[in-house]
C-alpha cells in the first residue's frame, strides 16, 4: 500500500500537504486589518473625547449600544489581528520547535484573555441599569 492511499479524501481535496494551513491566516489578517481602519479611528476619537472625564461619563458612553457595539467589534478585530500578527513573528524568529509551540500557545491564550477581559468590562457597562 503506497503512502498516497493513507491520505483522506478531505486531505486530497484541501491539497495543503505539509504546509498545515492554506491562505486562511493571510486572509483573516487582511479582513481584520480592513475592519480596523475605521474601528481604530473611531476608538481614538472616542477616547480623546473622554480624556479627563469621570468614570461615570465613560460608563454612560458605553451604556449606549451605538458606542458599545463598535467598541466590541474593535476589541474582537484587534485581538484576532494581534494574535495572527504575533504568531508570524514567533514563527519567523523562534526556530526551536518546543519553545515555538509553547509561545504559539501562550500567544493565543494571552490574546484571548485580553479580549475576554476587555469584552467583559465593556458588556458590564453596556448592560448596567438594564
Partner 1 sequence: MPDMRDSQGPTARPYGRPLSPHLQIYRWPITMAASITHRATGIALYAGMLLLAWWLIAASTSPDAYAIFIRVAANPIGEIVLFGFLWSLAFHLLNGIRHLAWDLGYGFHVPTARLTAALVYAGSLLLAAAAFAVALMVRAGLGV
Q: By CB under 8 A, name the binding residues for partner 1.
A: 30, 33-34, 36-37, 40-41, 44, 47-49, 51-52, 54-56, 58-59, 62, 75, 78-79, 82, 85-86, 89, 111, 114, 117-118, 121-122, 124-125, 128
**DSSP-assigned states of every residue in 74-110:** HHHHHHHHHHHHHHHHHHHH---HHHHHHHHHHHHHH
Report, in Å, the least distance between residue 14 CB and partner 1. Answer: 23
Between 16 and 112, name the residue whose CB sits nearer to partner 1: 112
CA distance 19 to 32: 23
Between 11 and 69, name the residue whose CB sits nearer to partner 1: 69
C-alpha distances (whole Å) from 93 to each of 22, 30, 65, 89 are: 21, 22, 42, 6
Report, in Å, the least distance between residue 67 CB and partner 1. Answer: 12
What are 119's three cell numbers? Answer: 469584552
Between 58 and 73, name the residue whose CB sits nearer to partner 1: 58
Report, in Å, the least distance between residue 125 CB and partner 1. Answer: 5
Under a CB-based contact definition with an 8 Å cutoff, are residues 72 and 43 in contact?
no
Between 102 and 128, name the residue whose CB sits nearer to partner 1: 128
Amino acid at each position: 500500500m503506497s503512502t498516497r492511499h493513507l491520505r483522506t479524501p478531505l486531505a486530497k481535496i484541501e491539497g495543503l500537504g505539509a504546509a498545515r494551513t492554506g491562505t486562511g491566516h493571510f486572509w483573516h489578517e487582511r479582513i481584520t486589518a480592513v475592519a480596523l481602519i475605521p474601528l481604530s479611528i473611531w476608538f481614538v476619537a472616542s477616547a480623546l473625547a473622554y480624556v479627563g472625564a469621570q468614570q461615570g461619563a465613560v460608563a454612560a458612553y458605553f451604556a449606549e449600544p451605538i458606542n458599545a457595539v463598535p467598541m466590541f467589534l474593535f476589541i474582537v478585530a484587534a485581538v484576532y489581528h494581534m494574535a495572527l500578527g504575533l504568531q508570524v513573528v514567533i514563527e519567523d524568529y523562534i526556530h526551536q520547535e518546543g519553545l515555538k509551540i509553547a509561545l504559539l500557545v501562550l500567544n493565543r491564550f494571552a490574546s484571548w484573555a485580553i479580549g475576554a477581559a476587555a469584552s467583559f468590562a465593556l458588556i458590564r457597562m453596556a448592560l448596567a441599569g438594564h
